[in-house]
Each structure stands twice: as structure tokens, then as C-alpha cells.
């Protein structure tokens, strides 16, 4: 076989092509581990409480790691929610790496977005299975998983849209740094509400 045929192409789903393989594998491990514990936990223990606790801890670790580490390292995106102490209003804040300062690896991006959208879909299917099999004891866990994974999916989708709009506005008005900053700030405020 030709060695060129054995090498996966850029953007293919091979973790070996990742710019940050440890970050990518940790991200995928958290995503898969919560599902595996939920699906196969009863094979190792009969304690529903233990399965519930381990799954919740894995989901929380996944939520934190994805939001604060994996998103920033793999695709250059991060988000958080701030509450104004004076008014009590909350607003979303989206952060993206500056254009040109970070090159996003196509493999990292594909793994990231595939995992971001696949996991809420899988938890939704597991919720339907729990409903139709009348295993209502699992519904609170599945709902918590669905809320956490969907929140991250929606937030990163909005963060990506904000990043694209901000980059477009910045490049369109890049005749002066001040104009680009004003345009990026206006677009950022529009999407943060």
C-alpha cells in the first residue's frame, strides 16, 4: 500500500491529526464516560444512587471542561453568563480568539462540533427510551444531562455566530483600528442580549 494512502487527510476524524490531542481525548472521554456509566452502570453495581452520582459528576466535569478548556483550545471559543449585581439582569458573554492569532485545526473543529451536537441528541433519545419503557426513576438524571449538554450546545453555537459576525465586521471596517473595534463591539453587544 502507498504510505500517502495510509495517512488520514486534514479534517478527518483521526485524533492523531489534532493540534491538542490530550485536550481532545479528555474532552471525548468526559463526553463518552457519562453515557457509558448511564447505559452500562447496572452491569457493575445494582446501586442506582451510585450510578446517578457518578453520571452527574461526569456530566459536571464535562460541562466545566468543555466550557472553560476544550472550547478555548480546540476552536478558540468560550462563553459565560454574567449577572449585573445592581439590576439582577443576566447576560451572556462570548469570547473568541482574535483572527490570525489562532489557527483552528480542521480535525479539532470537526470532533468538537460533532460531539457538541451528538450528545444532546443521544440524551434526548435516552429520555424517550426511559419514558416508553416506563423507567421514570431515570428521568431526572436524563433531564439534567439534557439540560447541561443542550446549554453548552446552544451557547457554543451562539458563540460561533458571534465570532463569525465579529470577524466579518472587523474585516469589513479594518481601514482603521478604531472603526473595527467599534463595529466588533456593536456586533458583540447585539449578540450578548
| Confidence at residue 9, expressed as pLDDT on a 0 to 100 scale | 59
Give, for all 193 residues of the chain, the pLDDT tens digit: 445 455 665 556 666 777 788 999 999 999 999 999 999 988 888 889 999 999 999 999 999 999 999 998 888 888 888 888 888 888 888 888 776 677 778 888 888 999 999 999 999 999 999 999 888 889 999 999 999 999 999 999 988 887 665 554 445 445 445 444 544 554 454 444 4
**CA 28/CA 39 separation, integer angstroms:** 17
Q: Whole-angstrom distance between the N-terminal and C-terminal Cα of the chain?
A: 55
Confirm whether 147 is domain-assigned.
yes
Number of domains in the chain: 1
Q: Say if 2 falls within a structural domain.
A: no
Q: Is residue 72 assigned to a domain?
A: yes
Q: What's the pLDDT score for residue 193?
A: 45
Structural domain of 166:
14-191
Backbone angles phi, psi at 93, to 5 degrees: -120, 130
The string of DSSP codes covering the chain is --HHHHSPPTTSS-GGG-SSHHHHHHHHHHHHHHHHHHHHGGGT---HHHHHHHHHHHHHHHHHHIIIIIHHHHHSEEEEEEE-TTT--EEEEEEEPPTTT-PPPHHHHHHHHHHHHHHHHHHHHHHHHHHHTT-GGGHHHHHHHHHHHHHHHHHHHHHHHHHHHHHHHHHHTTTSHHHHHHHHHHHHHHHT-
Q: Is residue 8 part of a domain?
A: no
Report which of 115, 31, 103, 29 is spatially closest to residue 73, judged by C-alpha positions: 103
In a domain, 131, yes or no: yes
61 assigned to some structural domain: yes
**Residue 151: inside a domain:** yes
What confidence score (pLDDT) does residue 6 get?
Answer: 59
Domain assignment present for residue 5? The answer is no
Amino acid at each position: 500500500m502507498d504510505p500517502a494512502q495510509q495517512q488520514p487527510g486534514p479534517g478527518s476524524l483521526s485524533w492523531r491529526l489534532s493540534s491538542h490531542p490530550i485536550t481532545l481525548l479528555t474532552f471525548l472521554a468526559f463526553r463518552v464516560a457519562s453515557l457509558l456509566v448511564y447505559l452500562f452502570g447496572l452491569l457493575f453495581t445494582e446501586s442506582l444512587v451510585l450510578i446517578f452520582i457518578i453520571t452527574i459528576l461526569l456530566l459536571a466535569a464535562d460541562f466545566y471542561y468543555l466550557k472553560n478548556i476544550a472550547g478555548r483550545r480546540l476552536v478558540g471559543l468560550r462563553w459565560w453568563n454574567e449577572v449585573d449585581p445592581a439590576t439582577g439582569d443576566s447576560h451572556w458573554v462570548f469570547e473568541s480568539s482574535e483572527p490570525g492569532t489562532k489557527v483552528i485545526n480542521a480535525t479539532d473543529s470537526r470532533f468538537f462540533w460533532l460531539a457538541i451536537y451528538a450528545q444532546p441528541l443521544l440524551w434526548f433519545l435516552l429520555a424517550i427510551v426511559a419514558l416508553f419503557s416506563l423507567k421514570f426513576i431515570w428521568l431526572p438524571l436524563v433531564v439534567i444531562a439534557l439540560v447541561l449538554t443542550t446549554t453548552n450546545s446552544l451557547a457554543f453555537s451562539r458563540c460561533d455566530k458571534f465570532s463569525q459576525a465579529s470577524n466579518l465586521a472587523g474585516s469589513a471596517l479594518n481601514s482603521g483600528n478604531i472603526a473595527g473595534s467599534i463595529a466588533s463591539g456593536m456586533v458583540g453587544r447585539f449578540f450578548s442580549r
